[in-house]
Structure 1
Amino acid sequence: MNNTDFIKKLIFRSSHRGTKEMDLVLGGYFKKNYNTLSDKELVEFEKLLDFSDKILTDYFVMNKTNANVNGFEIVKKIKNYLEGQ
């Protein structure tokens, strides 16, 4: 898969999550920032998408801690994006 196909896949997965909240958080972040992310961050973002909407909503919207989610560097960038909204 070339980089363009990979990006398209991540755009789709991040904006078709199953809950509107996570579509807006993850899809919104990724669509605005994918071109600034390193290859490592793109891979981390893909792994982050494997978490359930419940876990991610609790983490990003309800501000509940989760050691597994917190271990991703990309999470800091997403949180900064949300604080700027």
Structure 2
Amino acid sequence: MDENRDTRLRRLVYQSSYTGMKETDLLLGRFSALHLAGLSDAELDQYEALLEAGDDRIYAWVVAGEPAPEVHDNRVLDLIKEFKND
């Protein structure tokens, strides 16, 4: 059964707040609550794939400035980086 958009958004906000690393929990939890609803379905796919990469990788790409692999180097990751800097 396909989940509807609202259910998907709630699931992603929850997952964003419980990544396993406090720093990414705070960053992604706040980002997701404020910005996920404005993302397209394709961008939500990218965000979901990013979450699956793991909190240590997300931290490295967003906070430590390590280059992300091409599959994750997209607008969604750029939005998270901008959000972190605000």
| TM-score, length-scaled by structure 1 | 0.87
Q: Deviations over 1:8-32 (max 9, x none)?
A: 1101111101011111111111101
Counterpart residue number, 1:76: 78
Please list every run of 5 or more consecutive structure 2 residues that lacks an aligned counterpart in the other structure.
none
Identical columns (%): 29
Large movers: runs of 4+ above 4 Å = none
8 Å Cα contact 1:69/1:75 also seen in 2: no
Counterpart residue number, 1:26: 28
Query: Is the partner of 1:71 in helix, strand or coil?
Result: coil
Could you tell me which of 9, 16, 27 is aligned with 2:11?
Answer: 9
Task: Tell me how far 1:42 sits from its aligned partner.
Answer: 1.0
Across the two proteins, how many residue pairs are aligned to each other? 84
| TM-score, length-scaled by structure 2 | 0.86
RMSD of aligned residue pairs (Cα, Å):
1.4
Counterpart CA distance in 2 for 1:20 and 1:11 is: 15
| Counterpart residue identity of residue 52, structure 1 | G
Please list every run of 5 or more consecutive structure 1 residues that lacks an aligned counterpart in the other structure.
none
